[in-house]
Amino acid sequence: MHILTPETDETTHYNFAATRWNIRPDSETAEMKEKISNLRRYAFAEQDEPMIAAQAKVWEVAGPERTRPVWLDIDVGIARWRKIVEQRLEAEGHRGRRSLAVVEEAVPS
């Protein structure tokens, strides 16, 4: 599970967690727990974190007006939610965040 919580226009708190399913009772040793934990940390440190840092650098150099999000089928729910939030903020007289405005353009009604 990945949870991203925006802090500012340029920073986000990134939290992740993982679970195991169908664990055999005799396989849940301290050694196995440590090995899995180390593998998960390695995957984040060597794969996820460098990719996130590279994406942040591209965003910083190119600027948000020159980058367009790529929407996958799995993004539809959150994209619709963000569009609704943007519309409600505008109805209340608030100027929405730039990222919400970009979502509104990219997601068909």
Asked if residue 59 and residue 13 are part of one domain, the reply reads yes
Residues 61, 84: one domain? no
Q: In the predicted model, what is the mean pLDDT of residues 57-78?
A: 84
d(CA 26, CA 49): 33
**pTM greater than 0.85 (yes/no):** no
Same domain, 48 and 100: no
Higher pLDDT among residues 13 and 106, named by residue: 13
Is 73 found in the same domain as 22? Answer: no
- One domain, residues 39 and 92: no
pLDDT digits (tens, 9 = 90+) for 33-59: 899 899 999 998 999 899 989 988 988
Range(s) of the domain holding residue 4: 1-67
Whether residue 100 sits in one domain with residue 88: yes
Asked if 45 and 39 touch (Cβ cutoff 8 Å), the reply is no
Q: Are residues 34 and 1 in the same domain?
A: yes
